[in-house]
Amino acid sequence: MESWSKSLEHSVGPEGPIRVEIRCTDTSDGNFAIDSDAGQLNDNRKRIVDRRWIWLRQVHGNRVVVVSDSADANDLDAILGTEADALVTRRADVALAVQSADCATLALWSDDGVIGAVHAGWRGLEADVIGATVKAMRSLGAETIHARTGPCIGVECYEFGATELERMVAIFGAEVVGRSAEGNDALDVRRAVYLSLERSGVHLVGGSLRCSACRPEELWSHRSRNDKQRQALVVWIGHNQ
């Protein structure tokens, strides 16, 4: 698991200064596919962070779900499994999660305590799921927004069809085209994420550079191994000790 956290100096909650906490799971943390065994999934989630997880049924679109301050337990339950690809909130009592096995995942946060989690494959990037998430965060009052990326498939492992590649070039320019290890045209998903963040005015604060396809011991990959399991990126607001 990759762990990262940062104190938000501009934001003080009722119990003192708050932190943003981000985790990117590995195969050793278990499977986070939402249709896997519910008991096992619950155990896996609890081991990462023991609080209410909010998760979606991801559909490679640009729909963002806002987890509002006023949502009660029933409202929160009703969000689970919603068809969407991003979550945002100001709440400090939930953990926002997205799952992937090659697609990019991102955690976003603002200095004033708004957080977001995004699942961004090439279709989501094309549909500007990152821009939509940033807009939703701004509607909750976020000003300066930062991001960290989870692991995703690397360009060397992501050979891509000419038609789809043209669609991505039309949006992001030729720099998203790279070469696979075999020397064929490939999509640089990570580069597309960086460009999308830049266009949305988000500051990138680093992230994972691991390739899901190249690291069978650590990460699941749909493209290279047809894995059904998923890793998770989780973000939540915690308190300074």
Q: Which parts of this chain interact with Zn ion (CB under 5 A)? A: 154, 156-157, 211, 213-214
Beta bridge partners of 147: 108, 204
Pick the closer one to Zn ion by CB: 103 or 157. Answer: 157
Pick the closer one to Zn ion by CB: 21 or 102. Answer: 102
Cα separation, 201 vs 65, whole angstroms: 21
Smallest separation (angstroms) from Zn ion to the CB of 1: 20
E-strand stretches of 16-173: 16-24, 52-54, 56-57, 64-67, 82-83, 86-89, 94-100, 104-110, 115-120, 145-149
Smallest separation (angstroms) from Zn ion to the CB of 181: 7
Smallest separation (angstroms) from Zn ion to the CB of 69: 41
Q: Quote the tokens at residue 36.
A: 């896997």
Cα separation, 99 vs 102, whole angstroms: 10
Pick the closer one to Zn ion by CB: 138 or 225. Answer: 225
Pick the closer one to Zn ion by CB: 126 or 188. Answer: 188
Q: Quote the tokens at residue 191.
A: 């580069």
Smallest separation (angstroms) from Zn ion to the CB of 214: 3
Pick the closer one to Zn ion by CB: 85 or 102. Answer: 102
Q: Quote the tokens at residue 80.
A: 């689970």
Phi/psi at 205 (5° precision): -115, 35
Burial class (CB in 10 A: 0-12, 13-18, 19+), 97: buried
Smallest separation (angstroms) from Zn ion to the CB of 64: 29
